[in-house]
Structure 1
Amino acid sequence: MDLDPRLLRYFIAVAEERHFSRAAVRLHISQPPLSYAIRQLEDNVGARLLTRSSRHVELTDAGQVLYREALTLLRQAEEVRTLVQRVDAGLRGRLRIGFVGSMLYRGLPALLNAMRAELPDVEHVLTELNSHDQIEAVRRGEQDLGFIHANPLPKGVEARDLVAEPFMVCLPQAHPLAGRESLRLADLAADDFVFFARAASPSYYETVLAMCVSAGFTPVIRHEVRHWLSVASLVSQGLGVSIVPACLSRSGLAGTRFIAFEHAARSVSQAIWPGAARSPLQEKAVELVARHYSAAGPTGVHSFQPCSTDRSCP
């Protein structure tokens, strides 16, 4: 049975106008093609749909059933067409987003609100993962968009710098140096350190270690954890000191003090995404990220220059 949408629309017009001439005017066609189309539809369904007289048209029982079903079928067809067009335009679908915890203090919540406002029909699935795991997930096509600490990237993964900010010393509230406004890193040479785990982000580990060595000492690393908030939490419990991105000073974690020190290194956040065969939704998401962070103002936000896929961004 061929339920041609064109024939269904013609039939609906006749059923509602109860008159072939008025239906033809409504459809902007002449009456003979309309009459032929209704006969063709009746042949297709194998039932008489209308009773005709010189004055008006009445629906048969079969015609009344087809009228109701035709309205439903055409509405569903329009919904499918609209859905397909919105998916093709990147306005519908499912966006799998990974993030490191420090992004909660680097504009990620505001970005997600903006994405929900602009893409209300997109399902946003968030997963907290360390940088290394996100890079692998994006490379394997298991994650559409990631927010990481700057790391060397494999081929097939593209990135943009988002935010660059200094590091700060994180001390327990009871530490003898906690009352200072600034200090030298060498002042902490005798302290135990809490480090961000090497396995979670080798580049971060090496950056922090290099700062200590440049200050004239090799730190005693007592604890390694996989999340920056865990680093700060251990410090708050008096289990060591640490060097953390300045954004963590906005975490409001009780029992900690964040103090500036002299250094040249910067903590850089990146957005990452698949380098090839991106969907329209992924393209839309990358565009929104660029627009959001470009408009964030002079708070350490970098200009959006593409990063090489085989090295870490500065």
Structure 2
Amino acid sequence: MNRFDVSMELRHLRYFLALSEELHFGRAAQRLGLSQPPLSVAVQQLEAAVGAPLFIRSSRGVQLTAAGEAFVPAAQAVLDRAAQALVEARDVAVGEAGSLRIGFAGTMLYRGLPLMLQRFQAEHPRLKISLRELSSSEQLLELQHDRLDAGFAHTTQVPSGLSQILVSSQPFVACVPGNHTLARQRTVPLEALAGQPFALVARAVSPDYHSRILMLCGAAGFTPEPAHELQHWLSVVSLVGQGLAVALVPAAMQQAGMAGVAFLPVKGTRRDWLRYETHCLWKAGRDQPALGLFLSAVGEVAANR
């Protein structure tokens, strides 16, 4: 069997299909913009590759053999797939097709992520978004190893090699059980939480903000007893709702609709210490047009918040 490169195979298939429809070498050659001899040679080469005659040639004209008839739909399917592959490659090159792997920390569900995704998917319906809920530290690791295309992480220390867009900056608020003595106050000094069991997101999950909460409490004159270290802010709020702890949580957690808790602004503490920042992060220098389109959508939503 002869071996052809991909371009030769596609050319031979186009010639074959033209001849199968015209059943006349002269008309097929004219349709293809060829003289008749190159067409005849190409058909002979294709028949040699197949290992069977595809046409019956006679003085009365040209007819397809049984092998030729069977080969028509297969040849057309190959050409159709090749054409589709070209279109898909071009669309990926301009960011109109493909897929993106996006990581996010849970609080982003209350800080604009659904709106970003809705707008982006409405404008680019052929791009597939795969979401992975991960802690901030997990996202940084996945980004550095190219297992995420972008992530929404809560961190004050962005590693070198990662670019960023500040998506959200929100205050921390005190979170206490709904029946707590502080629950009806309009604001609360941080030192009012001293001596009570504290719930925190674990250091391994969000090391920056774990340390920041401890620093805030230290500046207020007390060291919290981190009685409970949890994986998610929702778990922290839920535990407070059970009356088992107090906490400092991002203000967006008020939108979770959790029963049995009260959220109170904290007074008497430096405001810049009470910000919970969310960054969209990605690895710089990647040739990925779809990511550029996604980051543009993120930037537009972030700028209007």
Q: Distance in 2 between matches of 1:113 and 1:55?
A: 63
Q: Distance in 2 between matches of 1:290 and 1:51?
A: 60
Q: Residue 240 of structure 1 aligns to a residue in which SS?
A: coil
Query: Which residue of structure 1 aligns with residue 146 of structure 2?
Result: 141
TM-score (norm 2): 0.84
Name structure 1 gaps, 5 residues minimum: 300-314
Query: Which residue of structure 1 aligns with residue 283 of structure 2?
Result: 274
Query: Which residue of structure 1 aligns with residue 55 of structure 2?
Result: 50
CA displacement at 1:89 relative to structure 2: 4.5
Call closer, same or farther: CA 1:207–1:286 in 2, change over 3 Å. Answer: farther
Call closer, same or farther: CA 1:89–1:287 in 2, change over 3 Å. Answer: closer
Q: Distance in 1 between matches of 2:248 and 2:236?
A: 9
Q: Residue 78 of structure 2 aligns to a residue in which SS?
A: helix
Percent of pairs identical after alignment?
Answer: 41
Deviations 1:183-222 (A, max 9, x none): 3323333433222222322211222223333334333332
Alignment: residue pair count = 296
Q: Distance in 1 between matches of 2:206 and 2:77?
A: 55
Query: Which residue of structure 2 aligns with residue 18 of structure 1?
Result: 23
Q: Residue 170 of structure 2 aligns to a residue in which SS?
A: strand
Q: Between Structure 1 and Structure 2, which shows a larger proportion of helix residues?
A: 2
Call closer, same or farther: CA 1:41–1:223 in 2, change over 3 Å. Answer: closer
2:164 and 2:280 in contact (8 A); partners too:
yes
Call closer, same or farther: CA 1:14–1:135 in 2, change over 3 Å. Answer: same
2:119 and 2:297 in contact (8 A); partners too:
no
Q: Distance in 2 between matches of 1:22 and 1:290?
A: 53
Q: Distance in 2 between matches of 1:12 and 1:182?
A: 79
Call closer, same or farther: CA 1:210–1:46 in 2, change over 3 Å. Answer: closer
* Counterpart residue identity of residue 291, structure 2: A
CA displacement at 1:246 relative to structure 2: 1.0
Name structure 2 gaps, 5 residues minimum: none
Query: Which residue of structure 2 aligns with residue 108 of structure 1?
Result: 113
RMSD, aligned α-carbons:
2.7
Deviations 1:133-177 (A, max 9, x none): 221222223333221102323333332221111221112111122
Map 1:294-305; keep pairs closer than 5 Å.
294-299=300-305
Q: Distance in 2 between matches of 1:198 and 1:211?
A: 15
CA displacement at 1:32 relative to structure 2: 4.2
TM-score (norm 1): 0.82
2:97 and 2:290 in contact (8 A); partners too:
no
